[in-house]
Amino acid sequence: MAIQNLQYLPILISIYFPATFILSYIIAVSTDDVTPLFPYISDTGTFSPESCIFGQLLNLGALFVGCGAYLRYLQIKDLHQNNQLPFVVEKLNGRACVLGIITALGISIVGNFQEKNALIVHLIGATFAFGVGGVYLCFQSYISFKIYPLVGNKTLNWIRVILAVGTLIFFVLVFLFAIIAAIVGKNAGNEHAEETINTKWTSDQAGWGWHFASTLSEWILAFCMLQYLATYAYDFRGLTLNEITVSNKLK
């Protein structure tokens, strides 16, 4: 049995994650666990009961992202086997797949290890999801140009470059602005500025502007990544995944 209409997987990913973030945001705001104005995405899944929903939904979302990364790997592998593509494409394809799986793992870690319970592990997961994820997008952008015009669209390829670079830039800005917010708050005597899991920053607290810039950067970062993954829908048109077979070696 062959599986078709695979272009809907990237579309599903681009809808699923915003729906997850919005749901956890609504619950977190309604329970007064976060401030309404652009909290960190992770803040909306820090406290119970939203943390339970956030973690479960991110686990499923991580599976979608991992499947998408592996499907992209299989697509490029097939193109390389049946067309004269540069060797570098095959080499980068395998590495990109590994990066994609690490990205998916990071998403799952972020959902399951909340800031208040395991901060270091949570930050490692965020680095996997956004940092490694940004590198993965850069790899895929390069590959996209190498497989054009067999697959893809030149304009879309440049859009991918912009989104990939944007992902890396905003990933750096999230941490940079957060550090500045903590320093400014500390110097001004804001007792909450250095609390990494402080989910209730207010505009009257020193360093709030930098904190807001950090949280806003994270939402833009997530937007860039999801929009990039959504572009796979164009490349996955007409793609068919054949049924995986299993053979028994009996004595």
d(Cα 129, Cα 132) in Å, to the nearest integer? 6
- Whether 88 contacts 146, CB under 8 Å: yes
Kindly tell me the sign of the dihedral angle through the C-alpha atoms of 96, 84, 152, 10. negative
Q: What is the pLDDT of residues 196-251, one digit of tens each?
A: 567 788 888 888 899 999 999 999 999 999 999 999 999 999 899 987 778 888 87
Per-residue confidence (pLDDT) for residue 213, from 0 to 100: 96
Kindly tell me the sign of the dihedral angle through the C-alpha atoms of 162, 62, 211, 34. positive
Tokens of 127: 């680095």
Q: What is the pLDDT of residues 2-46, one digit of tens each?
A: 888 999 999 999 999 999 999 999 999 999 999 888 899 999 998
